Amino acid sequence: MASSRPVPANKILLIFSQTFVPDPAAVGQYMADVAIEMARRGHRVRVYASARGYEDPTLRYPRRENLAGVDVRRLAFTSFGKKNLLTRIIGTASFLIQCFFIGLFTRPLGGIFFSTSPPMIGFTACWLGLLRRVPVAYWAMDLNPDQLIVMGKIKAHSLRARLLEAVNRFILRRSAVIFALDRFMAERLNGRGNFAAKIRIDPPWPHDSVIEPLEHRDNPFRIHHQLEGKFVIMYSGNHGMGTPVTTVLEAAAQFREDKRLVFMFIGGGVGKCEVEVCIKDRRLTNVVSLPYQPLADLKYSLSAADVHLVTLRDNLQGIIHPCKIYGAMAVGRPILFVGPRPSHITDIFDSSPIGWQVAQGDVAGCIATIRRILSTPQADLARMGRLGQRLLRDTLSQGLLAGRFCDSLQAALCLRPAARPGRTDAAAPASRGPHGL
């Protein structure tokens, strides 16, 4: 076991994350927030990530750079895109192998931090922790084999599921701290053993340093996409198999004659093809598909919506945690949630009336709810948006959550920051750096 004494200040915090900024994948954005804040606190932080885009391997990133004090090094032959399973496996295996040998020879090493990109990186990190006798910290962004089982990709008692479960238990046993995104995820993780003492519940924060509300009249995004006078229901982010939009697409087809209503789907992911096929096959002129927007334009695209759409597949509570809700709250927009109750989304709704919930597959209910939204006075929609902003500011802000997260990470890994001139508080709130979801 690693020593509980603080390690010398010159030790390196090693972070493994296949995706990292400027790649738009959410995991990399959040890992960057933590890395930058830990560097700001005076720690030596070194990140190893892929040299190519997570979804788009044609994107090439600098092989080495200093990002706000973080030493970022990107590895070749570790990402070939997500369209082909074989190339994904090859890219993942290459990343794991390279990280293992890097970790063996990194000196002086103080601790290792990892999440779920790529899958199985925790297995590599925990073995390195054992061999190098340093603590490791695990940020659970999603859970497998849970997700694969619920979605019918593998059977619960198959060999693959049992192997993945054994790896999970090994990671959980070896981690000095385990960060869960919500209470449902914490329950699932603790169900694998008695890990409650080292599980922390820390929801992902909104990137409020780059997200701010804009009035429609001041928004160039609405002008560019000819949205003047339109009511926009927007889905923005990753289109995953666990966050289906089928129910809303079926509802959208029933509003094809309503010229004031636009359904806008922004982002990428394996589920995005459903949107584009639906637009083409059903000739839906009221549905718009756009790629991920540049980070600098996020405040414009998110503010262009009148209502934001968040979805979650049934039985995936605690397995994945759609964080689109936080961006919607940051720009002061109500939320239409298509997914199960209870969930972390309905927990937020129960604390403050900022949206509507519809069950997955309830197309009639979705249509009725959209009609109710359209008949809601603009003043009431604005009030719901302000309630979301207030809740975010008081309990879910980036400064509050990222600062608390790094406090826990620093303590669990027994890291002692290097002294900096004029610096007396090593646990200051997180930096609001220029990175976001």
Mean pLDDT of 79-103: 88
Residues paired with 15 in a beta bridge: 47, 113
- How much helix, strand and coil, in percent to the nearest 5, is found in the chain? 40, 15, 45
For position 419, what pLDDT does the model report?
A: 60
**pLDDT over threshold 50, residue 432:** no
Q: Cβ atoms within 10 A of the Cβ of 218, count?
A: 10
Cα separation, 303 vs 212, whole angstroms: 8
Summarised one tens digit per residue, pLDDT across range 287-307 is 999 998 887 888 999 999 999
Q: What is the pLDDT of residue 269?
A: 86
Written as six digits, the tokens of 212 are: 């701010």
- pTM score: 0.89
114: Cβ contacts below 8 Å, ≥ 6 apart: 15, 16, 17, 121, 122, 125, 136, 137, 138, 139
Q: Are residues 42 and 419 in contact, defined by beta-carbon separation less than 8 angstroms?
A: yes
Average pLDDT score over residue span 387-408 = 94
pLDDT of residue 5: 57
How do residues 309-334 score in pLDDT, each as one tens digit? 999 999 999 999 999 999 999 999 99
Question: What would the DSSP string read from start to end of 365-425?
Answer: HHHHHHHHHHTS-HHHHHHHHHHHHHHHHHHS-HHHHHHHHHHHHHHHTT--PPP-TT---
Judged against a pLDDT cut of 50, whether residue 437 lies above it is answered with no
State residue 429's pLDDT score: 36
Q: What is the pLDDT of residue 436?
A: 31
Q: Which helix (H) or strand (E) holds 278?
A: helix 272-282
In this structure, the number of other CB atoms found within 10 A of the CB of residue 284 comes to 17
- For residue 247, give both structure tokens: 């129910």
**Structural domains present in the chain:** 12-205+397-412 (3.40.50.2000), 216-394 (3.40.50.2000)
Give me the phi and psi of 338, to 5 degrees please.
-110, 100
β-strand 70-75 against 64-67: which pairing, if any?
antiparallel
Q: Residue 4: which pLDDT band, with cuts at 50, 70 and 90?
A: low
Largest CA distance in the chain: 67
**Helical segments of 157-240, H only:** 159-174, 183-190, 220-224
pLDDT at 163: 96
Please tell me the predicted confidence (pLDDT) of residue 7. 54
Instruction: For 228, list phi and psi in degrees, rounded to 5.
Output: -60, 130
User: Alpha helix locations (H) across 298-362?
Assistant: 298-303, 324-330, 344-351
Alpha-helical (H) ranges within 74-207 are 85-105, 121-132, 146-150, 159-174, 183-190
What is d(CA 72, CA 325) in angstroms, rounded to the nearest whole number?
A: 30
CB 436 within 8 A of CB 369: no
pLDDT at 168: 96
3-state secondary structure of 173: helix
> Quick one: CA dihedral 190, 204, 268, 92, positive or negative?
negative
Q: CA 27, CA 299: separation in Å to the nearest integer?
A: 19
Provide, rounded to the nearest whole percent, the portion of the chain with pLDDT above 90: 82
